[in-house]
Structure 1
Amino acid sequence: MIEKITTRLTTTPLQTVLTRGSDAETCADPSSVMTLLGESDGTPGGFTSYRSSFAEGAVGAPAHFHTKATEQFFVISGSLRVLVGEEVTVLNEGDFLAVPPHTPHAFAAAPGAEADVLFVFTPGMGRFDYLRLLGRVMRGEADPKEIAESADRFDNHYVDSPVWRAALDGSA
């Protein structure tokens, strides 16, 4: 006799997230404002989404990579200079970029431009706490060592990029 084996898949329902613009938390530093839109990190398929408005000359993020998350960029307005791997390019209004795990990347407002950018990470990992920490460090309210110490918790691993340094120095 052949036994029938039934496998049941269980799924966790996705969480609905609604953030009204007037209720969104903001984190500001001298050169940018991050608007924390929503995150759903406790379920499969979770995400983190925020919007950053960069002033002209804003430095953005140094070269780093994520081991678990894909980081997605959508330029709402302005221009954003980005490093992906060993290539530097400029994203303009309407451009979209998805950077897969383990790919070094960095970003800053393009020379002479401001940038308004929507960021989405999948899966989410409670990154709002990282963004809050980053804002405190940029405002001089927290020690930059806290960022390095949080690398595994937030899946944010900084690397050296001579290509990015050269781009920022204006020689690339």
Structure 2
Amino acid sequence: MTSKNSDFAPVLTRAAEAETASDPSSVMTLLADSDTTGGLLTSYRSTFAKGAVGAPAHFHTRAAEMFYVIDGSLQVLVDQEIKVLSAGDFLLVPPHTPHAFAAAPGCEADVLFTFTPGMARFDYMRLLNRVMRGEASFQEIKDSSERFDNHYVDSPVWNAALNA
């Protein structure tokens, strides 16, 4: 059944049935991708162990990325500034803004991520998971930057924060 006002059906992802991708430092729970949301959004949840790095510095050209911290603390690069988000904090990063994230030093983090508009990102999450497990190369991620709208940049500010 579809809504009268949309081109897609309501999306319900049950926790017990959601696809997960995990490595020793994080678990990603894939919730809704653009193909099921009429292109409106893509959303997933990640839990990070203490010291886990989520993503290096990058930006998106077509999507805004939203962070909602469910529990713990997340360290985030936003342009050239480091912010620490705690449980209940929300952050919206607009397109073309360099950003990166990791569990805050000494903390775990549980974070809901949403991209709008949505684009098929679950394949990127699966690729990222294979890289983290040593089953694919980082070059494959670099080669997919246009497809997944992930454009990596060098950030001395972020590198210094990670090495502090």
Q: TM-score, normalised by structure 2?
A: 0.93
In 2, the alpha carbon distance for the partners of 1:44 and 1:104 equals: 27
- Segments of structure 2 that go 5 or more residues without pairing to the other structure are none
- What is the SS of the residue equivalent to 1:131? helix
- Segments of structure 1 that go 5 or more residues without pairing to the other structure are 1-10
Check conservation: 1:17, 1:40, Cα contact below 8 A.
no
- What is the SS of the residue equivalent to 1:103? coil
Alignment of 1:140 with 2:134, yes or no, is yes
Code of the aligned partner of 1:75:
V
Partner residue in 1 for 2:11: 17
In 1, the alpha carbon distance for the partners of 2:39 and 2:145 equals: 21
Alignment of 1:119 with 2:113, yes or no, is yes
Alignment of 1:130 with 2:124, yes or no, is yes
Any idea what the Cα deviations from partners look like across 1:92-139, whole Å, max 9, x if unmatched?
A: 000000000000000000000000000000011110000000000000
Q: Which structure is larger by alpha-carbon Rg, 1 or 2?
A: 1
Partner residue in 2 for 1:157: 151
Alignment equivalent of 2:42, drawn from 42, 48, 67: 48
In 1, the alpha carbon distance for the partners of 2:13 and 2:38 equals: 20
Partner residue in 2 for 1:67: 61
- What is the SS of the residue equivalent to 1:60? strand
Alignment of 1:32 with 2:38, yes or no, is no
Any idea what the Cα deviations from partners look like across 1:30-65, whole Å, max 9, x if unmatched?
A: 200000011234766521100000000001100000
Question: In the TM superposition, what is the alpha-carbon distance from 1:168 to its structure 2 partner?
Answer: 0.6
Code of the aligned partner of 1:133:
L
- What is the SS of the residue equivalent to 1:102? coil
Question: In the TM superposition, what is the alpha-carbon distance from 1:14 to its structure 2 partner?
Answer: 4.0
In 1, the alpha carbon distance for the partners of 2:158 and 2:125 equals: 22
Alignment of 1:108 with 2:93, yes or no, is no
Q: TM-score, normalised by structure 1?
A: 0.89
Code of the aligned partner of 2:85:
L
In 1, the alpha carbon distance for the partners of 2:88 and 2:36 equals: 30
In 2, the alpha carbon distance for the partners of 1:112 and 1:22 equals: 29
Partner residue in 1 for 2:89: 95
- Cα distance change, pair 88–25 in 1 and its aligned pair in 2 (3 A): same
Check conservation: 2:18, 2:30, Cα contact below 8 A.
yes
- What is the SS of the residue equivalent to 2:53? coil
